[in-house]
Amino acid sequence: MSLKLYEVTGHVAQALEEGFDPETGELSPELATALAEFEGKGAAVTAYILNLDAEADAVKSAIQRLTNRKRALESRSEWLRDYLKRNMATTGIKRIDAIDGTFSARLEVGRDEAVEIDDGVKLPDDLCRVKIEADKTKIKAAIKSGQPVPEGIRLVRRDRLVIA
């Protein structure tokens, strides 16, 4: 039965307590075995991480291709809707029905409402929506320069695993 990485880590930690041979100063055989086992398991976990990353990249690429295809289809559909709407308005035709009755297209003149705002129009504050959110870049700079920041804000350091 193959041990899991955390189990091997436990063996390394246990062997570290015994550590080195006091007479020769060499690694104990248990520690050498545990370290070798950990390296093998660590390499296997790293290889699995790289495989997952490669699969995630492939999925991301597929999503991008499909997103682009979706956008193109939606754009073409929107253009054709506008094309049909303009031509129905020009001819005065308000309804088109499929021969088999499975669908119809209706032109409902003046039905929808939308607000349009010209470029450069100054709006009063009561007609605007403002979203306020923390600027973490500015907060980090303030902390690093020694400026006071509200309680509950701190700069934390995290470990980073680099796989190359």
Q: What does the pLDDT look like over 50-106, one tens digit per residue?
A: 999 999 999 999 999 999 999 999 999 999 999 999 999 999 999 999 999 999 999
Q: Contacts by 56-64 with C-beta closer than 8 Å and gap 24+?
A: none
Predicted structure pTM score: 0.59
Q: Could you give the angle at the alpha carbon of 104 between the alpha carbons of 101 and 106, nearest 5°?
A: 150
Q: Are 139 and 156 in contact (CB under 8 A)?
A: no
Strand partners, 27: 20
Q: Are 28 and 18 in contact (CB under 8 A)?
A: yes
